[in-house]
Amino acid sequence: MRIRHTLPLSAAVLAVLMSGCADEQGGSGPKESAAASTQPSKPSASSGGTRRPWEPDDALRRAEQALKSAADDGTEAELVDSGTAYLGSGLKKSFRASGDTPYRLEITCDTDGAEELTLTLSRGADEQAYGVGCGDREADHFNLPAGKPFTAHVEAEQNGTGLIAWRLTTIAPGDVDGCDDDVDGCED
């Protein structure tokens, strides 16, 4: 009986998974069951300046917690869509934003090394770029009016390791906090 060494194979499979396997819309990504790592963890920067081990399953849990923290602001939100994408694939997702209730996009990232990614929200020729903090305890959120389709885009980081998690919800018009259309932007 021959003993096979599976650690190199497991490491290769993990490398392929983390390099990016998103669908053509950029909406699928790491799944908790596929995120287990057999490699030793590497340190990663967090927003607090401390170092913590970066592992895919832990990163997904942290990202989900950041999304949950953003949703715990007292608003009555209804989930429309959500997903994850690998940093190596980036994110390019279009939303119809139909109906008459405002939308809120919550987005976060958890990466090995990058402290911030650039999210570009666009609608037709209009676009706005925003920095999204990676490893933050609360996801960033952006308001978008109903009836106006928009696209969320984060460039792929070919040499990056990490994930992007997002959630789109509808909220009551009275729960819109700050700018009511983050694609057009608002003057302070």
Q: Are strands 150-154 and 91-95 parallel, antiparallel or unpaired?
A: antiparallel
φ, ψ for residue 111, nearest 5 deg: -130, 170
CA distance 168 to 104: 6
CATH number for the region 7-175 comes to 2.60.120.1540
Strand (E) or helix (H) holding 2: none
Q: What is the DSSP letter of 33?
A: G
Say yes or no to pLDDT of 60 above 60. Answer: yes
Which segment of 15-19, 66-70, 106-110, 176-180 scores lowest on mean pLDDT? 15-19
Q: Write the secondary structure of 132-188 as one string of H (helix), E (strand) and C (coil).
A: EEECCCCCEEEEECCCCCEEEEECCCCCCCEEEEEEEEEECHHHCCCCCCCCCCCCC
What pLDDT shows up at residue 87?
A: 92
Q: At CB < 8 A and 24+ separation, what contacts does 30-34 make?
A: 30/56, 30/59, 30/60, 30/84, 30/86, 30/163, 31/84, 32/57, 32/60, 32/61
Pick 125 or 76 by higher pLDDT.
Answer: 125
DSSP codes joined into one string, 71-128: H-SS--EEEEEEEEEETTT-EEEEE---SSS-EEEEEEEEESS-SEEEEEEEETTEEE
Residue 83 pLDDT level (bands cut at 50, 70, 90): very high
- Nearest Cα to Cα of residue 105 among 131, 143, 139: 143
State the average pLDDT for the chain.
Answer: 77
Q: Which of helix, strand or coil describes residue 52?
A: strand
Q: What are the sequence ranges of the domains in the chain?
A: 7-175
pLDDT tens figures, 124-180: 999 999 999 998 999 999 999 999 999 999 999 887 789 999 999 999 998 888 899
pLDDT band (50, 70, 90) for residue 51: low
Contacts of residue 48, Cβ cutoff 8 Å, sequence gap at least 6: none
pLDDT band at 65 (very low <50, low <70, confident <90, very high): very high
pLDDT above 90: percentage of residues in the chain: 52
Residue with the bigger pLDDT between 188 and 93: it is 93
Q: For residue 4, is pLDDT > 50?
A: no
